[in-house]
Amino acid sequence: MQKPTASRGKLLLAFALLSTAIAASAVYAQFQAGSYSSANPGGIAQVELANTSTDSTYGIGSYPLYRANLAPGDGLQDVQVYCSICHSTGYITMQPPLPADTWNAELTKMEKTFGAPIPDDASQRILHYLQSHYTTETRKP
């Protein structure tokens, strides 16, 4: 298999940026937001008094992240890098099988309406990946 090194470098950079984005939650004067940490489904969280201070801060810790069960295939890495900037990839696996042109419209919405910074070559690979695994014809149970 060929490995285009230039785009791989870009991917690695995007990975680095993304992991920073997820790890470092935003801290504002009045609140803290966007903190997630990985978890496995199925466990029941037990109630703990994490903060017994009577100060004015009301916090609940990080939100759990679960690994989406994405189909293996070309373009998977681009999906994990670029789609994950704004949302988890569970947004993809949750969908019913959709027509190929609906995936095109979704990707266009993410780029044009929501401003997702996806390079053209990655965008093409993402569309190909979605259409190869998540249409009525291609989705596997």
Could you list the residues that contact another protein (CB under 8 A)?
Answer: 21, 25-26, 28-36, 39, 41-45, 55-66, 69, 85-88, 90-91, 93-98, 102, 106, 113-116, 136, 139, 141
At its nearest, how many Å lie between another protein and the CB of residue 26? 5
The answer to whether 129 and 74 are in contact (CB under 8 A) is yes
Nearer to another protein, 2 or 40 (CB): 40
**76 contacts: CB under 8 Å, gap ≥ 6:** 70, 129
Phi, psi for 121 (deg, rounded to 5): -65, -40
At its nearest, how many Å lie between another protein and the CB of residue 16? 15
**65 contacts: CB under 8 Å, gap ≥ 6:** 22, 36, 37, 38, 39, 88
Nearer to another protein, 7 or 89 (CB): 89
At its nearest, how many Å lie between another protein and the CB of residue 129? 16
Nearer to another protein, 1 or 50 (CB): 50
Phi, psi for 93 (deg, rounded to 5): -70, -20
At its nearest, how many Å lie between another protein and the CB of residue 54? 12
Interatomic CA distance for residues 62 and 69, integer angstroms: 22
Nearer to another protein, 76 or 85 (CB): 85
Beta-carbon-side half-sphere exposure of residue 82 (alpha carbons within 13 Å): 26
